[in-house]
Amino acid sequence: MSKPIDARRRRLILGLGAGAGSLLLGGCERISSDPDTQRVLGSAQWLTRAAQRALVSRDALAPQYSLSDIAPVFRANGTTDPNNPVYQGYARNQFRDWRLQVDGLVENPKEFSLDALRALRAHTQITRHDCVEGWSCIGQWTGAQLRDVLAIVLPRPQARYAMFFCADPMDGGSNYYESIDLRTAAHPQTLLAYALNGETLPVAYGAPLRLRLGRQLGYKMAKYVMHIQLVDSYRSFGGGQGGYWEDQGYAWYAGI
């Protein structure tokens, strides 16, 4: 009763099955290493971002927690003591000589001392920090809203991203860096934080200044921020993916 069409179909189906099997068992590593695979799989982040933008309003706040939720030991991750003589010089002097440089596509490039940032309206929030590895810690962060800083330097209309250049040297020789879009930069919970749990930000957590985002994963929240530059594209920096971990294959959009 087996017609030729069935035999052909059977061969096709067996072939597909064998292909899927070898994909799963043998070729995983090779397939994962293929840049095209990475590009295709990575493109899902833009769908995810579009979906989350459609579902979650621009200013929706990340949940705030109570004092009793604060982690007794907040895990310090990534660099905890930058191996950088210039940075260590600032640290020895309690960052009195440290300046945050803000420039790029702005009308009014400016340098801010730590005192100048502290003089801006301070915001304190108890929020959760979600590491891409899977753990979460709750802490109380105090800092200036990035949007207040941007209101001083006046972004030009072409500006689309804020780049954060940091003091901590990473594997490969260059320093940590990150980028966020201006929508995220304008969010009320996007802070340039200088205090954790009521204390001056310790070195292990990114002293004197780190980025805090309410709605993305920890690797976006650059520590040891030295320089903020507004740009129209992050492609010409580092490996071109918008951040140190992004250059290692992590998604630029870290809202999930």
Partner 1 sequence: MQRDKHAPLSGGGRKRILILRHSRSVRVMHWVNVLTLGIMLMSGLQIFNAHPSLYWGKSSDFSHRLLHMEAVEGAHGHTEGVTRVGGHTFVTTGLFGWSRGSDGTYTERGFPVWATLPGSTWLAMGRLWHLFFAWILVLNGAAYLLIGILSGHLRRDLLPTGADLRSLGHTFVEHVRLRFPKGDEARRYNGIQKLSYLFIVFIVGPLMVLTGLTMSPTMDAGFPWLLDVFDGRQSARTIHFLGAMCLLAFVLVHLVMVIVSGLRNNLRSMITGRYAIEVEQVVAKGAEHE
Give the C-alpha distances (Å, rounded to integers) separating 74 from 128, 193, 217, 222.
11, 15, 15, 16
Q: In whole angstroms, how close is the CB of 26 to partner 1 at the nearest point?
A: 10
Separation CA 210–CA 190 (nearest Å): 10
Interface residue with partner 1, options 99, 110, 128, 160 (CB under 8 A): 128
Which of these ranges, 96-104, 112-120, 196-204, 209-217, lies near partner 1 under the rule CB under 8 A? 209-217
Question: Does the footprint of partner 1 cover residue 147 (CB under 8 A)?
Answer: no
Question: Does the footprint of partner 1 cover residue 4 (CB under 8 A)?
Answer: no
Total residues in contact with partner 1, by rule CB under 8 A: 53
Give the C-alpha distances (Å, rounded to integers) separating 13 from 1, 2, 18, 109.
19, 15, 9, 63
- By CB under 8 A, the residues from 159 to 178 that bind partner 1 are none
Question: Does the footprint of partner 1 cover residue 44 (CB under 8 A)?
Answer: yes
Query: Which H or E element spans position 85?
Result: helix 85-92
Give the C-alpha distances (Å, rounded to integers) separating 77 from 32, 95, 137, 177, 187.
26, 21, 11, 15, 24
Q: Is the CB of residue 192 less than 8 Å from the CB of residue 144? A: yes
Q: Which residues of the chain form contacts with partner 1 (CB under 8 A)?
A: 1, 6, 9-10, 13, 20, 24, 28-29, 32, 38, 40-45, 47-48, 52, 55-57, 60-63, 65, 69, 71, 73, 75, 128, 130-138, 214-217, 245, 248-251, 255-256
